[in-house]
Amino acid sequence: MSDRKTDGLRALAPLRTRDYRLLFAAVGIEVFGTGMWTIVMVFQVLALNDSPLALSAVATGLSLGLFAFSVFGGVVADRFSKRRIIIVVQGCTAAVMSVVAALSLTDTIELWHVAAASFAMGAGSAFFYPAYSAYLPQVLPPQQLLAANGLEGALRPSMGQGLGPALGGAAVGAFFPAVGAVIVASSYAIAFVITLFLSRREEVGGTPTAEPTNVWGDLKAGVRYVTGTRWLLWTLLFGSSLALIIQGPIEVLLPFLTRDRFEDAEATFGFLLAAYGIGGAIGSLVVSTLRLPRRYMTFMIACWGGGALPLALLGVANNLALMLASLFVVGAATGAGVVIWGTLLQRLVPPEMIGRVASLDFFVSIAFMPVSIAIAGPLSLIVPIPAIFVAAGLIPPLLAAVALVVGRMRVTELQRPLDA
């Protein structure tokens, strides 16, 4: 195949590998099931206890499961077989959701069952994604990791925020929550069966080392590696700062902004979130069709910092089309940066450390997102909401410049060229 044809099909190149096709299918079905569960869970809780407090408590279970095991999941991924972890997680989640579906069908389900299922799903994700991130470089050649991360970046919002919730709402609306729970359980069961066909291969971190270590020692080694690797530390600091600055305004304050400016606030808010999600999917897919940029860290930080600038327009623009375009650009730039970031973790971090670094990244993101959401509301009582959006757009580019300089990203790019 000529170079031109190869470039044109770059985004689909990973799908030529059998194990990646299996992984891609399993992840897609799992993300679909998780997206559907978010809707099924809501209506199952409302059927049991029509209370916002009950719904909030149950919904928190998923985040608690993620938070409780996010760091430990990376240690496990670096110590044991990634393939086995992926299979066990999918199997356990399928079993838990099957129990929930059976309880719901027999009308014996209770509120704590739903909360426990959400917690188990979050815990499963905390083990699955570090293992998946560390397993992918063993399945694909380095030059295809960017395309693979781009495909995944496009898959998640499409299935998890689009098709899954849409079909979940349709199933629950047409029938009752138990039917939705059965579909979720079936999705995880199918994903579990698919992972059973992954090839056995020699895995870094999957066999005991000559010098035995303990979990706490492995965790400390991971933290030391992150804090001692300049570009990695400053990317994590910048990324966590970005989550703190952006997440709260979009999730908490945007509905109030739309209510003050538009008559049909609910539909408008939905369109704005859709623009943000679609932008993320398209940004991820576009990057996956390209070669890794020569200045890959500069590009990644510029996407995150510069891509936040359109948020400032939300503070001053009353035009819906402009607001939709702004959130689309923010989503696209964020998605593109995330694809580059995932690829750099898999290519620049030592294979035996990928799980721990991925889980630390996961942990930091999870820790700062709820903080951002928690402080956005009280902050809006002191600072006008439009001014908060202006600040959310203008501060990230300044932080990006600091991260680039202090993290010495350019030096790393010159010392470790990739796909040049």
CATH number assigned to the domain comprising residue 80: 1.20.1250
Query: 394-397 contacts: CB < 8 A, separation 24 or more?
Result: 394/309, 394/312, 395/245, 395/308, 396/241, 396/242, 396/245, 396/246, 396/304, 396/305, 396/308, 396/309, 397/305, 397/306, 397/308, 397/309
Q: Is 203 a member of any domain?
A: no
Residues 365 and 225 reside in one and the same domain: yes
The total of structural domains in the chain comes to 2
Q: Is 212 a member of any domain?
A: no
Residues 405 and 263 reside in one and the same domain: yes
* pLDDT value for 270: 73
**Within the chain, how many helices (H) and strands (E) appear?**
18, 0
* pLDDT value for 162: 65
* pLDDT value for 9: 66
**Which CATH number is 305's domain given?**
1.20.1250.20
Is the separation of the CB atoms in 104 and 177 below 8 Å? yes
Residues 71 and 128 reside in one and the same domain: yes
Residues 234 and 106 reside in one and the same domain: no
* pLDDT value for 305: 94
Exposure of 55 by Cβ count < 10 A (0-12 exposed, 13-18 middle, 19+ buried)?
buried
Residues 267 and 118 reside in one and the same domain: no
The Cα 357–Cα 344 span in angstroms is: 11
Question: Tokens 């579990």 label which residue?
Answer: 192
10-residue stretch averages of pLDDT, the chain, 420 residues long: 52 85 90 80 78 70 80 85 92 93 88 88 88 89 86 77 66 70 89 91 51 71 88 91 87 82 77 82 87 90 94 89 92 91 89 85 74 80 91 95 93 81
